[in-house]
Amino acid sequence: MKPVIAIVGATGAVGSEFLLVLKKMGFEFEQLHLIASKRSAGKVLKTVFGDYEVVDIEQFDFSQVKYAFFSAGGNVSREWAPKAAAQGAIVIDNTSAFRMQDTVPLIIPEINRSAYTGQKLISNPNCSTIQLVRALAPIHERFGVRKVIASTYQAVSGAGNEGVNGLHASLVDSEGAGDSSPFSRPIAHNVIPQIDRFMDNGFTFEEEKVRFETRKILNEPDMFVTCTAVRVPVFRGHSVAAYIETDKALDMGAVKAALVGQGIKVAQNPEDFPTPRTIANKEDVYVGRIRREPDARNGLWLWVVADNLWVGAAWNAVRIARELER
Ligand SMILES: NC(=O)c1ccc[n+]([C@@H]2O[C@H](COP(=O)([O-])OP(=O)(O)OC[C@H]3O[C@@H](n4cnc5c(N)ncnc54)[C@H](OP(=O)(O)O)[C@@H]3O)[C@@H](O)[C@H]2O)c1
């Protein structure tokens, strides 16, 4: 029997992409429910599956739902995901609310499908973490990664519809950029080395997500992983520059060969590097600028680009459900 599915946060930057992803993946369902807050309840959304009325989460009963995809922020997930799971749904949560809980699997299907052992609540990793780990995992398997130093260049859509509107406003008024902007500085013609809140250690919460989620997904609690996460005036598509050191001697031909396939598109020549402008609505991870670090024994660099709304969110979440349907 085909599953009944619900998208919580359906009017949002990620939620609206779920519909396109379901269509492209050919994920079949019996019924689809689009859920948001009171603000959007009653609105009719025109989707690739036809017109759907948005339902207020407070009025919704999850007991008929098999998969509930949550993308409505951490507070909504903390309150509603356990209730939806108690009513019988399998919750696939895009927020950071439960990711680091020991009992909650943090899944990238291509990498650690086996971490799922029947739980009702599954976390989707952070967007930058997913694309980084998708590229790291094949190298780790072949050469044993021991150190990762990453810098991210993250699109404004990573901050949801407010982020997108914030960049539009800032491009018109680059000094003002409006009180409604979610960024701590004007984002147009700028780069902002702050994503999410600052922690006591001087890192941001986004940077800590990359550190701890990478270790959890790869099941390597002692791996050295560090990050500087930067917001850039790009609407869609995150980029990551990653320096990697391995235990085993590197063979760059074998590195490229390990990356090819598995949903990774590898630029063989330096000048063919990927950029965010060309990867919207694509499910692949794009890797370029693959080069050996001349001053380290087993060091290399990667440039990794992917659609934050697909690879970093909706595509990974629907892939999880598809795995569970097999
Ligand atoms: N954007 C990304 O690249 C990305 C990637 C991975 C994970 N995430 C995570 O996914 C979540 C959503 O992100 P987004 O970028 O899609 O945000 P967004 O564009 O701001 O959308 C938020 C969605 O949540 C709904 N919502 C807000 N408050 C609600 C409430 N009290 N009850 C029910 N629904 C509520 C909104 O509905 P209304 O129309 O009713 O306001 C809207 O549909 C965040 O936790 C984010 O960290 C985002």
> What does the pLDDT profile of the chain (326 residues) look like in tens digits?
999 999 999 999 999 999 999 999 999 999 999 999 999 999 999 999 999 999 999 999 999 999 999 999 999 999 999 999 999 999 999 999 999 999 999 999 999 999 999 999 999 999 999 999 999 999 999 999 999 999 999 999 999 999 999 999 999 987 665 556 899 999 999 999 999 999 999 999 999 999 999 999 999 999 999 999 999 999 999 999 999 999 999 999 999 999 998 899 999 999 999 999 999 999 999 999 999 999 999 999 999 999 999 999 999 999 999 999 99
Q: Residue 118: what pLDDT?
A: 97
pLDDT of residue 173: 81
The pLDDT score that the predictor gives to residue 177 is 52
Tracing tokens 């599915």 back to the chain, one arrives at 5
CA of 82 to the centre of ligand 1 (A): 17
At 290 the pLDDT is 98
- What are the phi and psi torsion angles at 309 (to 5°)? -80, -25
Is domain 4-125+313-325 annotated with CATH 3.40.50.720? yes
Instruction: Please report, for residues 4, 65, 93, 125, 141, the alpha-carbon distance to residue 30 in angstroms, rounded to integers and kept in the order given.
Output: 5, 10, 21, 27, 39
**Residue 89 near residue 65, CB atoms below 8 Å:** yes
pLDDT tens, position by position, 266-308: 999 999 999 999 999 999 999 999 999 999 999 999 999 999 9
Atom 1 of ligand 1: nearest residue by CA position:
158
CATH 3.40.50.720, the chain: domain bounds? 4-125+313-325
In the chain, ranges of CATH 3.30.360.10 domains: 129-307
SS3 118: coil
CA distances in angstroms from 244 to 231, 257, 310, listed in the order given: 22, 17, 25
Nearest-CA residue for atom 9 of ligand 1: 95
Q: What is the DSSP string of 219-270?
A: T-TT-EEEEEEEE-S-SS-EEEEEEEEESSPP-HHHHHHHHSBTTEEE--SG
Q: What is the CA radius of gyration of the chain?
A: 20
For ligand 1, residues with CB inside 6 Å are 9-15, 36-37, 39-40, 57, 71-74, 76, 94-95, 127, 157-158, 160-162, 308-309, 312-313
User: May I ask the CATH class of domain 129-307?
Assistant: alpha beta
Q: Which of 33, 127, 140, 227 is catalytic?
A: 127
Query: Known catalytic residue: 238?
Result: yes
pLDDT in tens, 159-170: 999 999 999 999
Q: Answer for the pair 77, 98: CB distance below 8 angstroms, yes or no.
A: yes
Q: Is 154 annotated as a binding residue?
A: yes
What is the CB neighbour count within 10 angstroms for residue 56?
14
Residue 73 CA: nearest ligand 1 atom is 45
Strands 299-306 and 285-292, bridge-based pairing:
antiparallel
